[in-house]
Amino acid sequence: MGYNLLKGKKGIIFGALDENSIAWKTAERVHEEGGSFVLTNAPIAMRMGQINELAKKTNAEIIPADATNEEDLANLVAKSQEILGGKLDFVLHSIGMSVNVRKGRLYTDEKYDFTTKGWDVSALSFHKVMQSLYKADAMNEWGSIVALTYMAAQRTFPDYNDMADNKAYLESVARSFGYFFGKEKKVRVNTISQSPTPTTAGQGVKGFDGFIAYAEKMSPLGNATALDCANYTISLFSDLCRKVTMQNLFHDGGFSMTGVSQEVIEKFTDQD
């Protein structure tokens, strides 16, 4: 059910890979709320996913772009405005990758070439995306830019590896660029710290099923799903959140504010 929250609004959605992706769910919800957009992902990711199916379903065009490449991003920003007929109102950055995780390298045994690549894709790319938008003056006033993050930026989850560092950097970029985008262009920049979600990227982390099960037991409302996150993102894209910026917004069923839950106490307490 749509409420026309994004009627007439235009944007770019990064990172839709398959129907498990938060970006995929967000694209579907934007479409339902009356928004139009361009879909983009790295060429290699596009070959792995089903983005053409999503584009057909949402009447969106696809522009391949490497989010670490400034020329690709400049082209993406320019072509998106041509296709959509004007400046943009929203952008979703839903990109993350750790080569160390993929290759099974422990945090205490990182290969730094892998670390640099993962940081570039997962975190620095957010700065590159916003700088491209900023320099091209591509955002309408009161536009909204959102990136997805995870609580490992604040608390230690051993197997999350160098992605935790990437997310911490990503959140800092949101605050720092958010100041300039807000002050000079009235554009909002926020991050959503989502529950562990069984996306293709998330499932690549060692012990991820354990993350999900533990968070479910710890969260008073239970874990937020990919669709839940899409709905929250829609609210941030809409005019209902015009004065929300430079925030890291926890969307995790209360996990981030819960010291311990009764279910966890019972799990580790002898009930006999």
In DSSP notation, 47-75 reads: HHS-HHHHHHHHT-EE----TT-HHHHHH
Q: What is the dihedral of CA 108, 109, 112, 114, to 10 degrees?
A: -110
Residues 6+ apart with CB under 8 A from 105: 111, 114, 161
Neighbours of 135 (CB within 10 A): 12
The yes-or-no answer on residue 232 being catalytic is no
Annotated binding site for NAD(+): 15, 21-22, 95, 167
Helix axes 163-185, 125-135, angle to 10 degrees: 20
The yes-or-no answer on residue 150 being catalytic is yes
Active site residue: 160, 169, 214, 232, which one?
Answer: 160
Residue 164 to residue 23: CA distance in whole angstroms: 20
Q: Nearest CA to 128 among 99, 83, 169, 165?
A: 169
Active site residue: 150, 169, 214, 232, which one?
Answer: 150
Residue 85 to residue 61: CA distance in whole angstroms: 13
**Cβ pair 39, 68 in contact under 8 A:** no
Q: Write out the catalytic residue numbers.
A: 150, 160
